[in-house]
C-alpha cells in the first residue's frame, strides 16, 4: 500500500501540520500574487484555494528519494497522505472562496477597500502597450544589441589587437603596452558602454511614471539599472584583466571608476548618439527611397489647417453612455463628425473597426476629428455624474507610438484609385480610412462613399504608412 494506516496513526501530527501549511500557505501566497496582478479578493482566494494542494509530481520525487535510499521509509507515506488530504480539501476550498471573500470585504476598513480598488483599476487599465512591457523591451533590446557589439570588440582586441601590439612593441615596457592596448579597446567600447548605461529621453517618462505609480515598481527599475551598470563594469573588468596582472580589487575599483567617468562624459554621449542616428538612418533607408517615389505629405495644407484635425485618445469609463453599443448604432460620424480609427482592448488592437464593433468599458479608443468635434464628443461622455475624473482626453506616450497615423497624398493620373469611388478604391481592405479630400479650393470632410477620386485630389487618410503607400 502507498499509505500505511499504522504510519499515519503514528505520524498524524506531522501530517496535520504539513497539510495545514500547504493549504493555508499556498492559498495566501497565491492569492497575494493574484492581488498584485490587479484582481479582486474573490478571484484571488479562488485562485489560491485551487492551487492549495501537493501535486502528484510529489509522488515521483518521494518515490525516487525512497528508491535511492536518501529518504527514510516513513517519509514517503507521509508525503502521499498530505497530497491526498490537500487534494481532497481543494474543491471545498474553492466552494468556500466566495463566502470567505465576502466576509473579509465586510470587515475590511473602507480606506483599505478604496486602496485595493484603486490599485486594481490602475493595474487593469487598458494600454496600447503596458509600461512595463515597453520598459522591458527597451532594456532587453539595448542589452542584447550592445552586449553583442561589446563582446565582438573584446574578442577582436584579444585575438588580433593584443598579439599584434605585443609583437610590434615587444621592446617597450609591458605596462606601457598594456595601457595602449586598453586605451584602444576602451575607446572602441566607450560609446556602446555609454549607450548601455544611459537612459534616452524617450524612455524617461515611462520610467518616471512606473516609479511614481507604485513602490513595487521601484525594485524592478533599480534592478534593471544595476544590471546595466554591472554588464558595463564586467566588460571593462574583463579588458583590464586581459591587459594587466594587477590585484583583482584594484582592477575592479578601476573598472567602477571608469564606468562613473563614462556616465558623466558628454563627449562619449555625443559620439554614441551619432553612431545610433547613423544606424537608424541606414535602417530606414528603404522607407526613404519608397517615399521619394510615392511622397506622402507630412503636414496639412492651408484649408485643412483651419479645421485643426487631430487624432485624440480616450479611455471609455465604465458608466459611459457609449458602452454596449456598436459604432454603427452610436452614429458618431453624423452626430459629432468624428470617426473611431482604433480600439485597444487589453492585448487586442483593432485598427479601423467596422460599424458592428461594440464599445466595452475600459476600451481605449482613438478618434479623428477637429478640436471642436472632439471636445463635443468628450463632453458627451462626461454627461453622467462623476465621470470627469474617470475620463481623460490627452496625448499619451502609448499613442505617440501607435501604428495608425494621419497622412496625405496627391492622386496622380496613374494612381490606382484615380476614377474610382471611395467605396470601390479598396481603402478599407488595406486597413485605411479616407477622412477628407482637398479638391481645388474645397475641403471635403468625411466624404460620401460614392464620391469619385479625380486627378490632383489631395487625399487625407488614416492608416499605417506601408498601407497608405499601397493605396496611393
Mean pLDDT computed over 356-383: 79
User: Is the pLDDT assigned to residue 2 strictly greater than 60?
Assistant: no
Whether residue 156 sits in one domain with residue 119: no
Average per-residue pLDDT for the chain: 76
Q: Which residue from 118, 131, 120, 122 is spatially nearest to 38, judged by alpha carbons?
A: 120
Whether residue 252 sits in one domain with residue 202: yes
Whether residue 354 sits in one domain with residue 418: yes
Angle, vertex CA 328, rays to CA 398 and CA 390, nearest 5: 40
- Residue 292 covered by a domain: no
CB-CB contact of 2 with 75 (8 Å) = no
User: For 410-428, how does the pLDDT look when each residue is reduced to its tens digit (9 = 90+)?
Assistant: 888 888 888 888 888 888 7
Q: Which residue has the cell 466552494?
A: 95
Total structural domains within the chain: 3
Whether residue 333 sits in one domain with residue 233: no
pLDDT classification of 238: cutoffs 50, 70, 90? confident
DSSP code, position 54: -
* Residue 344 parent element (H or E): strand 339-345
- Residue 66 covered by a domain: yes
For position 286, what pLDDT does the model report? 56
- Residue 152 covered by a domain: yes
For position 105, what pLDDT does the model report? 83
User: For 11-60, how does the pLDDT look when each residue is reduced to its tens digit (9 = 90+)?
Assistant: 888 888 988 998 888 889 888 888 887 778 888 888 888 888 887 777 77
For position 258, what pLDDT does the model report? 67
pLDDT classification of 289: cutoffs 50, 70, 90? low
Q: What is the pTM of this model?
A: 0.37
Q: Which residue from 162, 150, 156, 130 is spatially nearest to 231, judged by alpha carbons?
A: 150
User: For 339-349, how does the pLDDT look when each residue is reduced to its tens digit (9 = 90+)?
Assistant: 888 888 877 78
- Residue 297 covered by a domain: no
CA distance 77 to 11: 10
Angle, vertex CA 399, rays to CA 388 and CA 214, nearest 5: 65
Question: End-to-end alpha-carbon separation of the chain, Å?
Answer: 77
Looking at per-residue pLDDT, the higher value among 293 and 73 belongs to: 73
CB-CB contact of 48 with 34 (8 Å) = yes
* Residue 312 parent element (H or E): strand 309-315
Whether residue 442 sits in one domain with residue 389: yes
* Structural domain for 42, as ranges: 5-123
CA distance 388 to 221: 32
- Residue 31 covered by a domain: yes
Amino acid at each position: 500500500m502507498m499509505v500505511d494506516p499504522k504510519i499515519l496513526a503514528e505520524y498524524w501530527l506531522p501530517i496535520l501540520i504539513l497539510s495545514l501549511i500547504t493549504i493555508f500557505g499556498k492559498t495566501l501566497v497565491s492569492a497575494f500574487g493574484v492581488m498584485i496582478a490587479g484582481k479582486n479578493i474573490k478571484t484571488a482566494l479562488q485562485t489560491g484555494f485551487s492551487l492549495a494542494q501537493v501535486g502528484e509530481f510529489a509522488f515521483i520525487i518521494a518515490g525516487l528519494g525512497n528508491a535511492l535510499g536518501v529518504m527514510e521509509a516513513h517519509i514517503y507515506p507521509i508525503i502521499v497522505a498530505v497530497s491526498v488530504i490537500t487534494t481532497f480539501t481543494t474543491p471545498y476550498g474553492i466552494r468556500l472562496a466566495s463566502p470567505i471573500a465576502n466576509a473579509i470585504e465586510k470587515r475590511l476598513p473602507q480606506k483599505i477597500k478604496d486602496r485595493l480598488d484603486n490599485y486594481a483599476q490602475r493595474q487593469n487599465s487598458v494600454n496600447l502597450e503596458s509600461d512595463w512591457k515597453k520598459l522591458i523591451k527597451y532594456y532587453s533590446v539595448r542589452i542584447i544589441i550592445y552586449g553583442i557589439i561589446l563582446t565582438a570588440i573584446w574578442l577582436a582586441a584579444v585575438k588580433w589587437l593584443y598579439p599584434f601590439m605585443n609583437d610590434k612593441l615587444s621592446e617597450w615596457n609591458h605596462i606601457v603596452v598594456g595601457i595602449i592596448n586598453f586605451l584602444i579597446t576602451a575607446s572602441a567600447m566607450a560609446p556602446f558602454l555609454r549607450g548601455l548605461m544611459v537612459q534616452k529621453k524617450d524612455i524617461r517618462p515611462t520610467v518616471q511614471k512606473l516609479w511614481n505609480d507604485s513602490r513595487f515598481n521601484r525594485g524592478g527599475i533599480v534592478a534593471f539599472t544595476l544590471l546595466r551598470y554591472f554588464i558595463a563594469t564586467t566588460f571593462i573588468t574583463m579588458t583590464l584583466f586581459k591587459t594587466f596582472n594587477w590585484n583583482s580589487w584594484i582592477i575592479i575599483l578601476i573598472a567602477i571608476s571608469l564606468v562613473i567617468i563614462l556616465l558623466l562624459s558628454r563627449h562619449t554621449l555625443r559620439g554614441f548618439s551619432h553612431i545610433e542616428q547613423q544606424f537608424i538612418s541606414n535602417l530606414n533607408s528603404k522607407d526613404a527611397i519608397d517615399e521619394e517615389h510615392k511622397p506622402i505629405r507630412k503636414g496639412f495644407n492651408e484649408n485643412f489647417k483651419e479645421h485643426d484635425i487631430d487624432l485624440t485618445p480616450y479611455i471609455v469609463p465604465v458608466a459611459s453612455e457609449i458602452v454596449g453599443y456598436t459604432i454603427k448604432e452610436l452614429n458618431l460620424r453624423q452626430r459629432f463628425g468624428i470617426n473611431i480609427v482604433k480600439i485597444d482592448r487589453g492585448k487586442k488592437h483593432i485598427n479601423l473597426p467596422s460599424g458592428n464593433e461594440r464599445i466595452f468599458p475600459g476600451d481605449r479608443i482613438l478618434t479623428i476629428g477637429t478640436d471642436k468635434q472632439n471636445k463635443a464628443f468628450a463632453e458627451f461622455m462626461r454627461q453622467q455624474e462623476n465621470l470627469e475624473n474617470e475620463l481623460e482626453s490627452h496625448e499619451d506616450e502609448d499613442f505617440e507610438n501607435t501604428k495608425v497615423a494621419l497622412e496625405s497624398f496627391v492622386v496622380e493620373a496613374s494612381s490606382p484609385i484615380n476614377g474610382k469611388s471611395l467605396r470601390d478604391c479598396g481603402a478599407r481592405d488595406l486597413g485605411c480610412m479616407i477622412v477628407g479630400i482637398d479638391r481645388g479650393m474645397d475641403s471635403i470632410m468625411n466624404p460620401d462613399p460614392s464620391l469619385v477620386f479625380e486627378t490632383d485630389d489631395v487625399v487625407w487618410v488614416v492608416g499605417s504608412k506601408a498601407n497608405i503607400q499601397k493605396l496611393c
